[in-house]
Amino acid sequence: MRYTLCGIKYTMDFGCYDKDSGEVECYLEIPNPEAVGCVERFATFLSFLLVIVTFPFSLFECFKVVQEFERAVIFRLGRLRKGGARGPGLFFVLPCVDTYRKVDLRTVSFDVPPQEVLTRDSVTVAVDAVVYYRIKEPLNAVVRVADYSASTRLLAATTLRNVLGMRDLAQLLSDREAISHMMQANLDEATDPWGVEVERVEIKDVRLPVQLQRAMAAEAEADREARAKIIAAEGEIKASKALREASLVMIDNPMALQLRYLQSLNTISAEKNSTIIFPFPMDFLRTFLGGAAPSMSHSLPI
């Protein structure tokens, strides 16, 4: 049996005998939820009639404009109109029966509030970040989530805590770029059903406790001092090798020592000081050293 009520077709069959169970079954065909009923048609007709009666003043309420970076999602008596989002430019709405919401397609940025995070090595740090996102599906952003902006902000704060909780303090301080990419991937996957695309996530600042900062500063200072001592020791080794090679050259050529002495006098005289330097012959000390002094015919500066 088929009948029509308010423009909606219903089908009901009685007396359908089932051989297996021996029972009479009754089937009821559920109407299509997208079908427009007579009440909706009547309300739409009255809206058109109101536009015609109040013409041309009704044009100010019927024609709307959205910018190049905006889209309009239109609802007619609570139902989403076919054709997708309108815009950019001019579009038509009926008064009293049509409502619309504007969606901004530009990239939006917001700061994630500082989050107290416990790292994997049990260190408490405060981390804040900045997130850049945009709307890629205006219909999903309006229909599937109540407030896409607030939902994205709350999800970003939760994702930040979850991602940082899986890292050590050293990784948190050195691998900020990897953490940002991981957080962006997680956020983009979670917000994709809402029509939101997360474009970029950046870690702004990592604040450590004061005691931990002092401990890390002391560790870094000790490390630098150790490296400085090692470098100085290596320099002494290289200098001693160079002096050894220079002494071998001077033994082969005694005049080299005299030239080095004159060069030292030239360097000292350039500083304009009152220091007086004169050579003292080493042969003069043979008498006191009992012949132990080296037999060199040149003089050394004293």
HSE at residue 136, side-chain half, CA atoms within 13 A, is 11
Pair 94, 48: CB distance under 8 Å: yes
Q: Would you say residue 30 has pLDDT above 60?
A: no
Q: Which of 210, 194, 189, 126 lies closest to 160 in space, CA to CA?
A: 126
Task: Choose the weakest-confidence range: 48-62, 131-145, 238-252.
Answer: 48-62
Q: Nearest 5 degrees, angle CA 247-CA 235-CA 223?
A: 165
Q: Give the model's pLDDT for residue 38.
A: 79
Question: Could you give the 3-state DSSP secondary structure of residue 246?
Answer: helix
**pLDDT higher at 96 or 37:** 96
**pLDDT higher at 132 or 62:** 132
Q: Beta strand pairing status for 8-17 and 24-29?
A: antiparallel
214: its two tokens? 């002092």
Determine the Cα–Cα distance for residues 146 and 136; give it in Å rounded to an integer. Answer: 16
Determine the Cα–Cα distance for residues 169 and 125; give it in Å rounded to an integer. Answer: 9
Pair 126, 118: CB distance under 8 Å: no
Which CATH topology does 108-208 take?
Tetrahydropterin Synthase; Chain A (3.30.479)
Task: Choose the weakest-confidence range: 30-44, 94-108, 207-221, 266-280.
Answer: 30-44
Q: Beta strand pairing status for 70-76 and 98-104?
A: antiparallel
Task: Choose the weakest-confidence range: 52-61, 71-80, 126-135, 182-191.
Answer: 52-61
Q: Give the model's pLDDT for residue 131.
A: 92
Q: Would you say residue 176 has pLDDT above 90?
A: no
* Residue ranges per structural domain of the chain: 38-104, 108-208, 216-252, 254-302
Q: Beta strand pairing status for 279-281 and 299-301?
A: antiparallel
Q: Which tens digits make up the pLDDT trace of 39-80?
A: 777 777 777 787 788 787 777 778 888 888 889 888 888 788
Cβ neighbour number for residue 198 with a 10 Å cutoff: 23
Q: Give the model's pLDDT for residue 15.
A: 47
Q: Give the model's pLDDT for residue 126.
A: 87
Residues in the chain: 302
Q: Would you say residue 133 has pLDDT above 90?
A: yes
Q: Please state the rounded mean pLDDT for residues 197-211.
A: 85
Pair 133, 114: CB distance under 8 Å: no
* DSSP structural state of residue 122: S
Pair 191, 108: CB distance under 8 Å: no
Q: Would you say residue 11 has pLDDT above 50?
A: no
Q: Please state the rounded mean pLDDT for residues 87-116.
A: 86
Q: Token pair 């001019």 is at which residue? A: 90
pLDDT confidence band for 31 (50 / 70 / 90)? very low
pTM: 0.60
> What residue type is 79 in one-letter code?
R
Cβ neighbour number for residue 84 with a 10 Å cutoff: 13
Instruction: Report whether the peptide linkage leading into residue 193 is cis, meaning its omega lies within 30 degrees of zero.
Output: no
